[in-house]
Amino acid sequence: MTNSSSLSEDSVRTKQHDPDLEKEAQESKDDSDDVSPESPSTIANDSPKSQEESLGHRSSETKLRTRDFGIFPIPEHLQHRLDRPFHFGLTLNIAFGVFSTFTVANLYYCQPLLVQIADSFGVTHAKVSNIPTLIQAGYAGGLLFITPLGDLVRRRSLILLTIILSLVFSIGLAVTQSVEAFEGLSFIVGAVSVTPQILMPLVADLAPDNRRASAIAIVFSGLLFGILVARVLAGIIAEFVIWRVVYYFAIGVQALVLLGSYLLLPDYPSRNKNMTYWGILSTMAKFAVTEPVLIQSCIINLCSSACFASFWVTLTFLLDGPPYHYSTLVIGLFGLIGMAGVSLGPIGGRIIDKWQPWFISLFSICMLLVFQAIQTAAGGINVAAVIIVTFGIDVFRQNLQVSLSTSIFMIDPAARSRLNAVSILSIFIGQVMGTSVGTRVFIKFGWRACAALSLGWTGFMFLVLLLRGPHCPRYTWFGYEGGISVRKTISSSVPPNQDNTPQKQEQPQVVSR
């Protein structure tokens, strides 16, 4: 390490009053290839950095990385430099949301196109009905085996690689003449369309504590927009031209996402340079059974996702039958109501930034209980009830997931990608459960029984949340230790586990205002 970089590093650490300064400085000199955890981001008019960010981003790189994949130059202002922290503002936050929209859309373009795809390939509808399942199966594989890499490698490179792969294989979807090849490519596209789940932990790292929830909410809103917009766009395009044009459109927007990511994504070193890929996977499995906050959040996410999926899948059956008998176009317009609800997500994120996430989760579940009760009572009687429920479920389900994600990301900053992967897997399982069980209950017992099932799942979520209070220590499973203060200020935080040895970290100390 050069004298200037060493002095810069010492200066930063001295200001942080780090008691392990001399030891870490010696370790930095001994390992010329070490890369540091991420440096703190800055944002316009930002408040002073929390102790978590100060302690979690201490060391500097000895060798500046200037090229992606050793070939493409990284824009100079995006390169990692300790003496020039990266600016994370609203524009970049919104860009991340847009990237999420048009990446996750890859999973849903095919759904309105299945009939045209079957006719084009000359196969039965039953044959092409496997395509959405294969895409979702690929997505589950990507969540399990690709997203945890965000804790092991540089996220900029990982995100660029997944976008490149999804773009390349989407070209295959647009031009292939074989239904078997289309099915195989669909699986691969699903697996590499996990960019939003790599971006989410990155946003949690970049955003300051007092804006983390709202930053996550913006990206999550973009993800939900992608789910809703993909079906609408695919249906409109296929109404006027052949279905392949939908995938040409997907290729074009992914090329723009790739360009935007190259020009906007900051480059930061890995947090866990001493871990292996299998070590990352094993610790993810360990988190899934040893972290009370994560397990509580996953159970709630599973149930809320099941309710959400059940509602939207059976909504078509409800509106198509008596007493409504709506056309496909009118039924599709209900997606616009969902988009209106999604657009309010960042507002909920600002509230979560000021309050303890647990209380936002509690309020959101209570409101979901109200809307599920409305659907149970009047969903098949008056369309006004359906409109109200459609809006309310989208708003408060999103707030619930953002509040739970905020709690999960507080567990261990160095393991956010793995923690997020476990959480998203629970959501995926809930979607499968809600789609399957909800459809069967609706067909066999009717709309009211289906709504009552979702009401019961929501009640179970309420009970699970009440088992563990908002301020319990990290490894406490039940109870209400630490009080019940609602508003929060983070006065201290434990730095990430930088040597990758097991250690128990306490929750940030929370004091009431």
Cβ contact 474:509 at 8 Å:
no
Which of 37-41, 437-441, 467-471 bottoms out in mean pLDDT, i.e. has the lowest?
Answer: 37-41
At residue 334 the predicted structure's pLDDT band, cuts being 50, 70 and 90, is confident
Query: Once rounded to an integer, what is the mean pLDDT over residues 269-285?
Result: 83
Which of 274-278, 423-427, 441-445 bottoms out in mean pLDDT, i.e. has the lowest?
Answer: 274-278
pLDDT of residue 252: 95
pLDDT of residue 488: 65
At residue 356 the predicted structure's pLDDT band, cuts being 50, 70 and 90, is confident
pLDDT of residue 467: 92
Query: Once rounded to an integer, what is the mean pLDDT over residues 137-164?
Result: 90
431 pLDDT exceeds 90?
no
- Between 31 and 159, the higher pLDDT residue: 159
60 pLDDT exceeds 90?
no
Please enumerate, as own/partner, the contacts of 119-126 that have beta carbons within 8 Å and a separation of 24 or more.
120/242, 120/243, 120/244, 121/177, 121/178, 121/179, 121/182, 123/179
State the CATH architecture for 276-477.
Up-down Bundle (1.20)
Cβ contact 190:135 at 8 Å:
yes
List, for residues 122-149, the tens digit of each pLDDT value.
888 778 878 888 888 899 899 889 988 8
Q: How far, in Å, CA of 35 to CA of 32, rounded?
A: 9
How confident is the prediction for the chain on average, in pLDDT? 79
pLDDT of residue 373: 95
Give the highest mean pLDDT range of 80-94, 398-412, 469-483: 398-412
pLDDT of residue 312: 83
List, for residues 247-265, the tens digit of each pLDDT value.
999 999 999 999 999 999 8
Superfamily of domain 73-274: MFS general substrate transporter like domains (1.20.1250.20)
pLDDT of residue 343: 80
List, for residues 189-233, the tens digit of each pLDDT value.
999 999 998 988 888 888 887 888 888 888 888 888 888 788 778
Query: Once rounded to an integer, what is the mean pLDDT over residues 164-180?
Result: 94
Query: Once rounded to an integer, what is the mean pLDDT over residues 156-161?
Result: 92
DSSP string, 309-350: HHHHHHHHHHHHSTTT---HHHHHHHHHHHHHHHTTHHHHHH
List, for residues 477-494, the tens digit of each pLDDT value.
888 877 677 776 554 333
pLDDT of residue 269: 77
Please choose, from the candidates 54, 25, 32, the residue with its C-alpha nearest in 3D space to the C-alpha of residue 42: 54
pLDDT of residue 293: 92
- Which residue intervals of the chain bear CATH 1.20.1250.20? 73-274, 276-477
Please choose, from the candidates 104, 101, 117, the residue with its C-alpha nearest in 3D space to the C-alpha of residue 246: 117
Side-chain half-sphere CA neighbours of 429 within 13 A: 13
Under 8 Å CB-to-CB from 14, ≥6 apart: which residues? 21
- Between 97 and 331, the higher pLDDT residue: 97
pLDDT of residue 489: 56
Please choose, from the candidates 213, 413, 397, 217, the residue with its C-alpha nearest in 3D space to the C-alpha of residue 309: 397
Query: Once rounded to an integer, what is the mean pLDDT over residues 171-178?
Result: 93
273 pLDDT exceeds 80?
no
pTM exceeds 0.95? no
List, for residues 285-325, the tens digit of each pLDDT value.
898 899 999 999 999 999 999 998 888 888 878 888 888 88
Percent of the chain with pLDDT over 90: 27
Query: Once rounded to an integer, what is the mean pLDDT over residues 7-27?
Result: 41
Q: Give helix 90-104 / helix 212-240 axis angle, nearest 10°.
A: 40
19 pLDDT exceeds 80?
no
Please choose, from the candidates 39, 30, 284, the residue with its C-alpha nearest in 3D space to the C-alpha of residue 143: 284
Which of 39-43, 403-407, 442-446 bottoms out in mean pLDDT, i.e. has the lowest?
Answer: 39-43
The alpha carbon torsion through 161, 61, 204, 250 (nearest 10 deg) reads -20
List, for residues 91-122, the tens digit of each pLDDT value.
888 999 999 999 999 998 887 888 888 888 98
39 pLDDT exceeds 60?
no
Give the highest mean pLDDT range of 30-44, 113-127, 332-346: 113-127
